[in-house]
């Protein structure tokens, strides 16, 4: 289990996103393999929180790469992004789906509504709930993680040679760009 170095994140979000497929997100004893991601391309991307420039909410997106941008939406859900590119450019990759690997008892306790294990992390807000990611993880450094804090690992599993591609989910503006990547056929991909 090798921690991903800062340089790994220092690329365009549309290049980084498919490279995150197969990587392992770790929070405490809970581990899940990323199977679905979306790229958000910064101030030129109408679908991105960064489109209208830096605000208090999206400030982490404009910071250095390799940090977690966590935001609140629909009055009740938290979603997590990996900040990419370089400082000053508001790019990030949304984590939309993951396959539970370890700490499943903790995940089930955190997600009582999940009827099957494939429902634990199959969605951006589900994934955060299962792993215990919330406002206190906004800005967390994945390269030099706090004890028990979130980090990303490479366990030798290569990203898929030809990941499935589609348009992004849930957007009205910027919905035409094919910036969603996922592992075809994986049951942990969101519906």
Chain positions contacting DNA, by CB under 7 A: 38, 40, 47-50, 52, 55-58, 61, 71-77, 79, 81, 92, 94, 111, 113-114, 119, 123-127, 168-173, 190
Residue 156: CB minimum distance to DNA, A: 28
Cβ closest to DNA, residue 121 vs residue 183: 121
Residue 106: CB minimum distance to DNA, A: 16
Cβ closest to DNA, residue 53 vs residue 147: 53
Residue 140: CB minimum distance to DNA, A: 16
Residue 186: CB minimum distance to DNA, A: 15
Whole-number Å distance between alpha carbons of 109 and 89: 37
Residue 33: half-sphere exposure toward Cβ, Cα within 13 Å: 19
Cβ closest to DNA, residue 19 vs residue 114: 114
Cβ closest to DNA, residue 155 vs residue 176: 176
Q: How far is CA 83 from CA 61, 120, 174, in A?
A: 6, 24, 19
Residue 49: CB minimum distance to DNA, A: 4
Token output for 74: 């629909």
**Contact (CB, 8 A) for 164 and 35:** no
Whole-number Å distance between alpha carbons of 42 and 86: 11
Whole-number Å distance between alpha carbons of 65 and 16: 11
Cβ closest to DNA, residue 88 vs residue 148: 88
Listing DSSP states for 63-132 in one string gives S-SSBEEEEEETTTEEEEEEE-S-TTS--EEEEEEEEEEE-HHHHHHH-TT-SSGGGSSSSHHHHHHHHT
Residue 26: CB minimum distance to DNA, A: 19
Cβ closest to DNA, residue 134 vs residue 148: 134
């Amino acid at each position: 289990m090798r921690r991903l170095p800062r340089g790994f994140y220092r690329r365009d979000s549309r290049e980084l996103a498919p490279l995150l497929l197969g990587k392992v997100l770790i929070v405490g004893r809970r581990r899940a393999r990323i199977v679905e991601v979306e790229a958000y391309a910064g101030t030129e991307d109408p679908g991105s929180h960064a489109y209208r420039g830096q605000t208090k909410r999206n400030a982490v997106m404009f910071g250095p790469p390799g940090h977690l941008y966590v935001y609140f939406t629909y009055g009740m859900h938290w979603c997590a992004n990996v900040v990419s590119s370089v400082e000053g450019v508001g790019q990030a990759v949304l984590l939309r789906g993951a396959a539970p690997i370890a700490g499943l008892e903790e995940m089930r306790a955190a997600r009582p509504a999940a009827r099957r294990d494939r429902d634990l992390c199959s969605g951006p807000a589900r994934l955060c709930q299962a792993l215990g990611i919330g406002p206190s993880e906004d800005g967390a450094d994945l390269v030099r993680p706090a004890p028990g804090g979130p980090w990303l690992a490479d366990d030798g599993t290569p990203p898929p040679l030809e990941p499935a591609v589609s348009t992004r989910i849930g957007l009205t503006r910027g919905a035409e760009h094919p910036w969603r990547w996922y592992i075809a056929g994986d049951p942990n991909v969101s519906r």
